Amino acid sequence: MGKLFAAYSDAKWMLVDIPIGLPFEDNKTRSCDSHARKVLSPKRHSSVFSPPCRETLSAANYEDACNVNQMVTGRKITIMAFHLIPKIREVDGLLHDNAMARNIIRESHPEVCFWALAGYDPMDQYKKSKEGLAERLTLLNEHFPKSAAIYKAALDRYPRKRVARDDILDALVLAVTASLLGESEATFPEHPDKDLSGLPMEIVYAIPEKPKQEIKVREDNLTIVNELERLYPGKNVKPPSIDSTYSIIDSDGEKYLQIDTYGPSSQSNFAKTGQSIRFTPEAIKQLKTIIDSEL
């Protein structure tokens, strides 16, 4: 890691998928991990594991690491976390020895970055599957058109036993995210705590320009029922029990979302039969805020 940082020390940011701020006795569970699992549920949350405490970095073997971590945090560590300890120790040592590195190297998570770039929407497919690779590469190309070329070049340069296909996309999404940081920067949590050595316990990501979950006006007519189900999957949203369509209306230079209702008026008190209702863009945002607060 020291050689890598020396080669790219002029970078504004370097994002790594390595835990930096580590849990300790008074802060046994990092809130950044809890936030990440929440937004990635129910499909991708398992990609976020609990990192070991700093005391495990000098453990001789897996059994010792489990015992030390249980003594400090009350739980053992996974074998995955144990195998990552050499990398954690390497990054931790660099950040403690090099003040400049602490301003540049920051922790992130590939699936959180994909979630953010997709408009706060977790990836549907497992990243090692053919469909998952295609899903992620398509998204990366939308934000950085050279992604496909870089991916192919990396495939040709490195054998699979050294670098897996999904590892290339993980590294690429961190690089794309790093290029977007600045005004678009966000972290889990919003105000990160620090560990006992003063390192932030955070996961960095970039705020997308147009989140998918923002209600959007579209030219084609769709039912309100289907739109609400798309925006709030699995939330058991109760949409109006009337058939409705909406469309763009341009009136005197002002654009509105017009909802046209059909069906017996006794089915809903949302609107009378045949009524047309117009919403301004600001009203739509207020409506979404109310729905989100209820969920």
The string of pLDDT tens digits covering residues 196-217 is 999 999 999 999 875 444 434 3
The whole model's pTM is what?
Answer: 0.71
Give the pLDDT band of residue 238 (cuts 50, 70, 90).
very low
**Architecture category of domain 224-294 in CATH:** Roll (2.30)
206 forms beta bridges with 185
Q: What is the mean pLDDT of residues 217-221?
A: 38
Q: What percent of the chain has pLDDT over 70?
A: 71
Write out the E strands in 58-216. Answer: 105-107, 185-188, 203-206
| Domain residue spans of the chain | 2-206, 224-294
- Determine if the peptide bond prior to 145 is cis (ω within 30°): no
Q: What are the tokens at 185?
A: 């920067």
Distances 244 to 109, 226, 247 between C-alpha atoms, Å:
41, 10, 10
- Looking up tokens 């029922």, which residue turns up? 225
State the sign of the Cα–Cα–Cα–Cα dihedral 27, 30, 35, 37: negative
Closest CA to 273 of 250, 234, 241: 241
Q: What are the tokens at 237?
A: 């949203």
Distance CA 214, CA 259 (A): 18
DSSP class of residue 9? T
